[in-house]
Amino acid sequence: MTDLSRRRFFTRHTANQEAVALPWLANRQRFSDECTRCGKCVSACETDIIVKGDGGFPRVDFTQGECTFCYQCAAACPEALFVSQENPPWSAKASIDDACLTKRNIECRSCAEACEPQAISFSLQIGKVAQAQLNLDECNGCGACVSICPASSIHVSTTN
């Protein structure tokens, strides 16, 4: 097993991450209207990826780690702004941009090593290092690949 805490020490993070809806959030508009910003979901998050964002509203920050889909954030919400755990947590998916080290012919497979559902693989290329390939059907949007990417080339976004 990879020691991610040491690996994160050498990882460059950007402050401008896309806003990702909390897992199992019922409705973004209702969340904006009814969330009291109590911070209970922030405290309940076992991986500390839920942080206070703009205006004190909780948001997901994958530079801190990954979502384990533990449902503790939703269970802690006194406003009941979340759907049941039987539903999919979100429609979030990862994407890899052109800053990926493999596109610059630098060997790196950190993202694939962190990807539990094995949504990231590498295809061999003639005359260059193997290139990252993302299988969106397998990606669960957990964000494990984000915090360990040394080039900050992986982003997770959601539509719900």
Where do the structural domains in the chain lie, given as residue ranges?
A: 18-90, 93-158
Binding-site entries for [4Fe-4S] cluster: 35, 38, 41, 45, 67, 70, 73, 77, 139, 142, 145, 149
Binding-site entries: 35, 38, 41, 45, 67, 70, 73, 77, 139, 142, 145, 149
Inter-residue contact 123 to 134 (CB < 8 Å): no
pLDDT the model gives residue 100: 97
Q: Classify 93-158 by CATH class.
A: alpha beta
pLDDT digits (tens, 9 = 90+) for 57-113: 999 999 989 999 999 999 999 999 999 999 999 999 999 999 999 999 999 999 999
Record the pTM: 0.82
The reply to whether domains 18-90 and 93-158 share a CATH topology is yes
Mean model confidence pLDDT for the chain:
88
Band (19; pLDDT cuts 50, 70, 90): low
Q: Classify 18-90 by CATH class.
A: alpha beta
pLDDT the model gives residue 2: 44
